[in-house]
Structure 1
């Protein structure tokens, strides 16, 4: 079929010029090569496509019918080429990003705001979901890039760090007063209502490992589906919430929440953009990666 397409291309050029030598010059091939291509096509179709004369060639009725369709086909291809080049010049493209609702609100949105000002013709699709789901989609190739905490599998993913986050425990002053927890000698995890993200969340898995490593066993756990809800529940005095310190900066500054000191603080984590090593880097992806790296 590839060779047949070339034969149609040669036929279309000869039909337009009505001259084999002129067509040969346009195609940058020899005149015998053009003549042979036309002969091969006629033999394949078992039809005479041109009437030859000393003045050039003229389409037969069958040739005119075929030319009607080849002309339309190659014009469509040319339009496709032109549109593709135009889109490239404008920077038109599409980028699919996976991110948790928390990281989307606090980290991704500022990046997108600046990126879209630089590349307004790139369409962005955001899939708000857990980090685990985002990593699975990156592995399958159904997402271009994700904003996640640094994944353990560095062989599969390319990770571009953009920030560090710190997990802390917070509560209102009234809640701590009621529990008489100003003296931190007591085990807060044994007495307080500990509010955590659900079990499938990467942050929860990280905190569970922290509990295990430090022999801590929370007795009263309230699971919440999002970081925003954890923050709001903590502000209403429902308990002690495990939150990202960088996301409650204002609440800590205003005294709405108090950070609870720990004997051993939770280690900070890296957050960044992640994509599959084997993924195809489109123009949009290349621009976004360059923006992250150098922007």
Structure 2
């Protein structure tokens, strides 16, 4: 098969139209259409269903695109590895992590990292769902559950526990809890139904020192950063992860004798990037910054 036609096919499959693919490829719509027709003729199958709202891959088109996507991902990785200097780290590097950790801990440290390695072209993708690193949706990740794929390398970064916080305004109005039983009369903000951990683990405040039914929260939010913002607003009390410590200076740490269940943060990347200089310098930087924070 003609690699140029496959490149154009992949662009059309991702864009969903000849026009949008042509814009990304700097080709006319008619030129893109001709290349796709030529590829379909050479294969003897239709690759797209055409309709008024755009293009949809046929079953054969899905099979071809799945394989073409994997091939181009490996080519991109190979190109980056070949072009990467052995003496210094440079080139594109995409890291993904959760919205909360990325917003509150990772991105504030990226200026220092890029000052050290200005030739790295860094991208940060914040999602509470996991990208497929084996398909090069990202080069590396910081995750809070052990990776399930066998071809991924993992490095433990940090043990994370949650602690209880409230805003000064909230505490002046509702009082400071002095023992766990006092939580019964406070407004608790917890994680929603889409919790990334078992509900009883991540929402441990609802069960802390309580028998039978859990406490009733005033608000459920499906994102830790959203919980943090609700606490800052003075709505109530919540358990926030230890990596948010830098952001909690405008909050009060209450019931300091209580800590939530422990989770582990992992730095994860594919086996084929084991010798990547970019991965190595980012890994070492993260390990160093987390150690400094733990000592501070």
Distance in 2 (alpha carbons) for counterparts of 1:210 and 1:273:
28
Would the alpha carbon gap of residues 120 and 241 (structure 1) be closer, same or farther in structure 2, given more than 3 Å must change?
same
Identify if the C-alpha distance between structure 1 residues 245 and 283 changes in structure 2 by more than 3 Å, giving closer, same or farther. Answer: closer
Q: Where in structure 2 are the equivalents of 1:62-73 lying within 5 Å? A: none
Q: How far apart in 1 are the matches of 2:244 and 2:196?
A: 17
Select which of 238, 242, 259 maps to 1:241. 238
**C-alpha contact (below 8 Å) 1:141/1:279 kept by paired residues:** no
Structure 1 residue 219: Cα displacement:
0.9
For 1:224 and 1:290, how far apart are their aligned partners in 2? 33
Q: 1:193 & 1:185 partners in 2: Cα distance?
A: 13
1:232 alignment counterpart: 229
Aligned residue in 2 for 1:274: 268
**Residue number among 98, 106, 109 corresponding to 1:108 in the alignment:** 106
Give TM-score, length-normalised by structure 1. Answer: 0.54
Count how many residue pairs are aligned between Structure 1 and Structure 2: 205
CA distance in 2, matches of 1:181, 1:197: 22
2:187 equivalent in structure 1: 193
Deviations 1:23-82 (A, max 9, x none): xxxxxxxxxxxxxxxxxxxxxxxxxxxxxxxxxxxxxxxxxxxxxxxxxxxxxxxxxx9x
**TM-score of the superposition, structure 2-length normalised?**
0.53
Structure 1 unpaired stretches of 5+: 1-80
Match of 1:146 in 2: 141
2:219 to 203, 219, 222: 222
> CA, structure 1 residues 249+89, in 2 after alignment: closer, same or farther (shift >3 Å)?
closer
Runs of 4+ aligned structure 1 residues displaced above 6 Å come to 86-90
C-alpha displacement at 1:241, in angstroms? 1.9
The residue aligned with 1:55 is: none
- In 2, the alpha carbon distance for the partners of 1:219 and 1:99 equals 30
- Matching of residues 21-32 of structure 1 within 5 Å: none
SS at match of 1:202: coil
Report the 3-state secondary structure (helix = DSSP H, G, I; strand = E; otherwise coil) of the residue aligned with 2:102.
helix
Tell me the distance in 2 between the aligned counterparts of 1:102 and 1:218. 25
Deviations 1:121-142 (A, max 9, x none): 2222211111xx22x5235542
Kindly tell me: are residues 226 and 204 of structure 1, through their superposed partners in 2, closer, same or farther at Cα, counting changes over 3 Å? farther
**Residue 283 and residue 263 in structure 1: after superposition, are their counterparts in 2 closer, same or farther (change >3 A)?**
closer
Q: Mind listing any 5+ residue stretches in structure 2 that lack a counterpart?
A: 1-78, 290-296
Alignment partners' CA distance in 2, 1:284 and 1:209: 38
User: 1:158 aligned to 2:153?
Assistant: yes
Which structure would you say has the larger Rg?
1
Contact conserved, 1:231 with 1:248, CA < 8 A, in 2? no
Aligned-CA RMSD value: 3.9
Tell me by how many angstroms 1:273 deviates.
1.6
**CA shift for structure 1 position 227:** 3.5
* 2:90–2:119 Cα contact (<8 Å) kept: yes
User: Which of residues 90, 93, 96 in structure 1 aligns to 2:94?
Assistant: 96
Deviates more, 1:114-123 or 1:262-271: 262-271
